[in-house]
């Protein structure tokens, strides 16, 4: 069997690749990796993965390639040009998009790549949820969309990084992730707003959130982010600006399905505004600071 490729070794991709590489040990297959900076792959290579100096070189060795990069333009940069995946494909290749992008963009990309490669490259979408903690632990929820025949050999590979679930045709994974992102964005904003109100009312935010975690307000997000909110720690784990595209993807799908939205528009505007204010490269918890500043501005008026 051909090797498995993985491109994009950032906060999420690095741990995922590590788990997948370990799962391939003894199978006769290797994990072939590529990312913008070769030094990011040093630990993986030392553990048995194989470095490839371009996406083209990955495609030359693999029949299954997973990508975890920020957005569709980044995916296109991997597949196009002399050093891109299309140039290196020698037989059937399944491209697994683990990035969070719009459902329609993966459908369009599948058509374009099939045409550019003479039908040899096909796309499966498999965005993930669980954050950096889930990626490190190998417990991600992985939402998979694609043709049954294409998805079948992908699921065992993804299983090394978490729990993959095949939800329907191509784009179904991204629809699921868009729904996930709406729920998460609403939770992040609600927890942030509550933290500002509680602090201004004289409460200890850390103690409050510890208490709330045992009741109906408890959640994975509250457990993961409570300390950050209490300490106002906005060091980046997942950049806030990425939520603009995530919520836009949800809005597009809501419009396509004729669904009214109660929160998506406001949440999208909030993350766009805080990004315009220069906070977009900080962690998603920075919405706490943005809410506090908005409140101060309103009070001044």
Q: What tokens were used for 164?
A: 């993959």
Helix segments in 126-171, DSSP class H: 131-137, 148-151, 154-158
Q: Are 217 and 256 in contact (CB under 8 A)?
A: no
Separation between Cα atoms, residue 139 and residue 162, nearest integer Å: 4
Whole-angstrom Cα distance, residue 158 to residue 23?
10
Triad 68, 29, 147: Cα angle to 5°: 55
The catalytic position among 177, 225, 232, 245 is: 177
Taking the C-alpha atoms of residue 45 and residue 23, their distance in angstroms, rounded to an integer, is 15
- Specify whether 177 is catalytic: yes
Helices (H), 30-102: 42-46, 55-61, 72-79, 85-88
Half-sphere exposure in the Cβ direction for 218 (13 Å, CA) = 7
As annotated, the active-site residues are 177
């Amino acid at each position: 069997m051909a090797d498995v490729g993985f491109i994009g070794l950032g906060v999420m991709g690095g741990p995922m690749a590590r788990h997948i590489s370990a799962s391939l040990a003894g199978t006769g297959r290797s994990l072939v990796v590529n990312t913008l900076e070769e030094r990011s792959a040093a630990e993986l290579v030392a553990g048995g993965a194989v470095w490839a100096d371009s996406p083209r070189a990955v495609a030359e060795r693999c029949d299954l390639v997973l990508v975890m990069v920020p957005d569709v333009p980044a995916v296109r940069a991997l597949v196009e040009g002399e050093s891109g995946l299309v140039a290196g494909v020698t037989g059937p290749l399944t491209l697994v998009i683990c990035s969070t992008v719009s459902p329609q963009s993966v459908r369009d990309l599948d058509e374009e790549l099939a045409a550019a490669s003479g039908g040899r490259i096909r796309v499966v979408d498999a965005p993930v949820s669980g954050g950096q903690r889930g990626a490190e632990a190998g417990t991600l929820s992985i939402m998979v969309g694609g043709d049954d025949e294409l998805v079948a050999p992908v699921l065992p590979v993804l299983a090394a990084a978490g729990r993959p679930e095949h939800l329907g045709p191509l784009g179904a994974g991204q629809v699921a992730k868009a729904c996930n992102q709406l729920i998460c964005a609403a939770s992040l904003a609600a927890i942030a707003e509550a933290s500002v109100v509680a602090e201004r009312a004289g409460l200890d935010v850390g103690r409050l959130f510890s208490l709330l975690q045992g009741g109906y307000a408890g959640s994975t997000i509250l457990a993961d982010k409570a300390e950050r909110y209490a300490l106002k720690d906005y060091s980046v784990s997942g950049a806030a600006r990425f939520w603009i595209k995530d919520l836009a993807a949800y809005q597009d799908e809501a419009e396509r399905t004729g669904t009214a939205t109660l929160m998506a528009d406001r949440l999208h505007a909030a993350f766009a505004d805080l990004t315009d204010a220069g906070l977009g490269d900080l962690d998603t918890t920075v919405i706490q600071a943005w809410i506090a500043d908005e409140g101060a501005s309103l009070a001044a008026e």
